[in-house]
């Protein structure tokens, strides 16, 4: 029995927008009005980073907190309400970098945008959520399943789950939905399952609207999803700042214990303790280097599942040598 949509309203879920800026096409800076006219790489002691308020962005949010009271470079966070809005800001140079779905960044790179992936956003941290009447992946045959974007590890994980059970993507109706809409769409029966950035999977569990069919690590060991990217302009014009920013970022990730991650999530994400406790069990932020091996596994999946025929090579796309 599915919970009614009204229960989601009562739980305050519907008001949980990804950002106050949702739908306006612009980002909201946490510290200052967003510069919408030009790259900020030339005249600032800050690095302007675009993010979505999801647990997958916690490493850069923690970094911004850690650098706030120190000498040196500061992180200016710019919050977006959707991946297309964030990507537009990244691709047009309105920000210096972003925490973004790595497949989206790979696509931008493939299309000629000057960006480099300098670290992972996190490891694992995704789940396949299904309605309570679905017992196994085979039950998904003919059902409707939501992902946030075709260019995502969520799409890959769905393909992995189906392949594990002798099915393919052609056996389900795949629909792209905004993350915020997925828990309520599942509860109302509009969709039968979804995979998306957290904590939107944990929300369905918390509300009793769905259950976990697979965690990402059951499908793809040490799976990757989001990446931290910087523009070539920023890296070339401010190499020392880029180096110290990336080093601080990896340290911030390593500092994210479950307790610290929850503290940062409560500051930036406005979610309940129950949702965060569930969600943060699935994710880790240790060792955020993008290794050649990790990247080649991703590239193989991107090609095998038809996300892209020609993803950028490791040498073209990943920068480790700061
Ligand atoms: Zn992610």
Ligand 1 centroid–CA 226 distance in Å is 4
Q: CB within 5 A of ion ligand 1: which residues?
A: 56, 225-226
Lateral strand order in the sheet of 193-194: 173-176, 144-147, 193-194, 127-130, 211-215
The DSSP symbol for 53 reads: S
Region 77-101 average pLDDT: 96
Kindly state whether residue 3 falls inside one of the protein's structural domains: no
Q: What angle do CA 102, 105, 109 make, to 5 degrees?
A: 135
Res. 176: pLDDT tops 50: yes
Domain end call among 170, 187, 219: 219
Ligand 1 centroid–CA 249 distance in Å is 16
Region 230-244 average pLDDT: 97
Report how far residue 96's alpha carbon sits from residue 90's, in angstroms, rounded to the nearest whole number: 7
Q: By mean pLDDT, which of 2-11, 36-45, 223-232 is the weakest?
A: 2-11
Q: What is the pLDDT of residue 128?
A: 98
Q: Which residues contact 18 (CB under 8 A, 6 or more apart)?
A: 52, 53, 54, 80, 81, 82, 178, 179, 180
Q: What is the pLDDT of residue 223?
A: 97
Q: What is the pLDDT of residue 27?
A: 56
Report how far residue 219's alpha carbon sits from residue 222's, in angstroms, rounded to the nearest whole number: 9
Ligand 1 centroid–CA 236 distance in Å is 27
Ligand 1 centroid–CA 311 distance in Å is 18
% of the chain at pLDDT higher than 70: 86
Ligand 1 centroid–CA 43 distance in Å is 30
Ligand 1 centroid–CA 1 distance in Å is 30
Within 123-238, where are the H helices? Answer: 153-164, 182-188, 200-207, 216-219, 232-237
Residues 85 and 209 in one domain: no
Kindly state whether residue 59 falls inside one of the protein's structural domains: yes
Ligand 1 centroid–CA 197 distance in Å is 6
Domain end call among 178, 193, 219: 219
Kindly state whether residue 168 falls inside one of the protein's structural domains: yes
Handedness of CA 235, 241, 247, 248 (dihedral sign): negative
Ligand 1 centroid–CA 123 distance in Å is 8
Asked if 137 contacts 167 with a C-beta cutoff of 8 angstroms, the reply is yes
Ligand 1 centroid–CA 163 distance in Å is 22
Ligand 1 centroid–CA 122 distance in Å is 6
Res. 219: pLDDT tops 80: yes
Alpha carbon of 240 to those of 13, 26, 73, 119: distances in Å? Answer: 42, 29, 10, 17
**In the chain, how long is the greatest CA-to-CA distance?**
57
Q: What is the pLDDT of residue 26?
A: 46
- Return the beta strands (E) in the chain as ranges: 28-29, 46-51, 74-79, 97-101, 115-120, 123-124, 127-130, 144-147, 173-176, 193-194, 211-215, 226-231, 283-284
Ligand 1 centroid–CA 286 distance in Å is 14
Residue 322: pLDDT band (50, 70, 90) is: confident
- Domain extent at residue 207: 127-219
Nearest alpha carbon to residue 198 among 78, 73, 285: 285
Tokens 């991703």 belong to which residue? 298
Which H or E run includes 181? none
Asked if 226 contacts 123 with a C-beta cutoff of 8 angstroms, the reply is no
Ligand 1 centroid–CA 94 distance in Å is 22
Ligand 1 centroid–CA 126 distance in Å is 7
Ligand 1 centroid–CA 121 distance in Å is 6
Region 139-149 average pLDDT: 97
Residues 74 and 202 in one domain: no
Mean residue pLDDT across the chain: 89
Asked if 226 contacts 156 with a C-beta cutoff of 8 angstroms, the reply is no
% of the chain at pLDDT higher than 90: 84
Q: What is the pLDDT of residue 163?
A: 97
pTM strictly above 0.85: yes
Tens digit of each residue's pLDDT (9 = 90 or more) over 32-74:
334 444 444 444 689 999 999 999 999 999 999 999 999 999 9
Residues 48 and 69 in one domain: yes
Res. 17: pLDDT tops 70: no
Domain end call among 219, 251, 282: 219
Residues 199 and 231 in one domain: no
Ligand 1 centroid–CA 235 distance in Å is 23
CATH of the domain at 148: 3.40.190.10
- 292-304 and 102-110 helices cross at what angle (nearest 10)? 80
Residue 183: pLDDT band (50, 70, 90) is: very high
């Amino acid at each position: 029995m599915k919970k009614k949509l009204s229960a989601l309203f009562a739980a305050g879920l519907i008001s949980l927008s990804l950002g106050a800026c949702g739908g306006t096409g612009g980002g909201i800076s946490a510290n200052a009005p967003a510069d919408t006219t030009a790259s900020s790489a030339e005249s600032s002691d800050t690095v302007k980073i675009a993010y979505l308020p999801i647990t997958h962005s916690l490493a850069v949010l923690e970094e911004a907190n850690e650098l706030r009271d120190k000498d040196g470079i500061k992180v200016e966070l710019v919050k977006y309400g959707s991946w297309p809005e964030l990507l537009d800001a990244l691709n047009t140079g309105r920000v210096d970098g972003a925490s973004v779905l790595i497949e989206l960044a790979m696509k931008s790179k493939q299309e000629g945008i000057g960006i480099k992936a300098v670290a992972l956003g996190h490891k694992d941290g995704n789940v396949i959520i299904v309605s309570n009447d679905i017992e196994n992946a085979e039950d998904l045959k003919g059902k409707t399943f939501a992902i946030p974007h075709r260019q995502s590890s969520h799409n890959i994980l769905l393909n992995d789950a189906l392949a594990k059970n002798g099915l393919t993507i052609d056996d389900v109706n795949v629909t792209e939905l905004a993350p915020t809409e997925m828990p309520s769409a599942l509860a109302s029966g509009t969709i039968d399952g979804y995979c998306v950035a957290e904590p939107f999977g944990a929300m369905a569990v918390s509300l009793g609207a769905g259950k976990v069919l697979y965690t990402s690590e059951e499908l793809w060991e040490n799976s990757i999803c989001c990446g931290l990217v910087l523009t070539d302009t920023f890296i070339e014009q401010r190499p020392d700042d880029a180096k110290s920013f990336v080093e601080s970022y990896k340290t911030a990730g390593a500092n994210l214990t479950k307790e610290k991650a929850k503290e940062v999530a409560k500051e930036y994400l406005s979610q309940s303790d129950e949702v965060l406790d569930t969600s943060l069990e699935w994710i880790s932020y240790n060792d955020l280097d993008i290794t050649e091996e990790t990247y080649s596994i991703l590239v193989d999946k991107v090609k095998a599942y038809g996300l892209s025929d020609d993803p950028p090579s490791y040498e073209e796309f990943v920068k480790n040598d700061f």
